[in-house]
Amino acid sequence: MSDAFSTMVPGRPVARPVATLDVELVGDLICPFCYLGKRRVDRAIHSVRGPSTLGFYPFQLNPEMPSRGEAFDDYLAQRFGSRAAIQPVLDRLQAEGRDAGIEYQFDRLERVPNTLPAHQVIELADSKGHDPMPLVESFMEAYLSHGRDIGERDIIVDVARRHGLDPDQVTAAIDDDHLRGNVVDKEQRIRASGVGAVPGFLMNRRLLLVGAQEIDDIVAGFDRAMFGDEDGNEVRAPLH
């Protein structure tokens, strides 16, 4: 598994055990499990209090989504048969989200957006030296807590502007073929490495934790990634 993940960023070797924690979230901006997992990883990182970084890799849940998105209820019907079929999962997410400080508002969701343009703006922020994670969080909050269609250009610009990005540059980024290619290339390499479910948390490029795990399990993963044996490991216990 370590050899596979070493291809995710060309020229970057697989890390050896060190007392520094490097976590990379693999996820999509409309994924409620990704939002919950990110909040739990934030708390886990805070609890260990050591030197750490948290980064982001794009993974579209619906890479074939039309540019205008799809009606939310139609999407649920196609994926799960009906909204009623998935309602117990949504109810559980709302309860678990409150414990993590998230107010999921699934009743506000009218459309499932194409998230590629928003991922391109995150790529822009990263290329300009901005920490991408506050922007990632804001896109997740805008969609999952406020029901804003983050596939819409004006909404993307508004969210990004609040993080110091120039609106004209954001607009250009949405239409930028180079940025689009970077995002698609990253996602293809991630999928080729064997990632098929999100959220995924790649720790020191040695261990992959899949799913919005409990904080104690995340901290245990940190320990294995920093101080475990030399061989790469994988933990798979997805919630969905």
**Tens of pLDDT, residues 118-166:** 999 999 999 999 999 999 999 999 999 999 999 999 999 999 999 999 9
pLDDT score recorded for residue 147: 98
Locate the domains of the chain by residue range. 2-236
Per-residue pLDDT of 38-87, as tens digits, reads 999 999 999 988 788 999 999 999 999 999 999 999 999 999 998 899 99
* 174-177: long-range contacts, CB 8 A cutoff, minimum separation 24: 174/117, 174/120, 174/121, 176/120, 176/124
Across 1-10, 138-147, 164-173, 215-224, least confident range:
1-10
Asked if residue 142 lies in contact with residue 199, where contact means CB atoms within 8 angstroms, the answer is no
Domain 2-236: top CATH class = alpha beta
Helices (H) and strands (E) in the chain, counts: 10, 7
Pairing relationship of beta strands 111-112 and 200-203 according to DSSP bridges: unpaired
pLDDT score recorded for residue 13: 47
Task: Flag whether pLDDT at 19 surpasses 90.
Answer: no
pTM over 0.85: yes
- Cis peptide preceding 113, ω within 30 of 0: no
| Coil, helix or strand at residue 92 | helix
CA 195, 212, 51 angle in degrees (round to 5)?
90
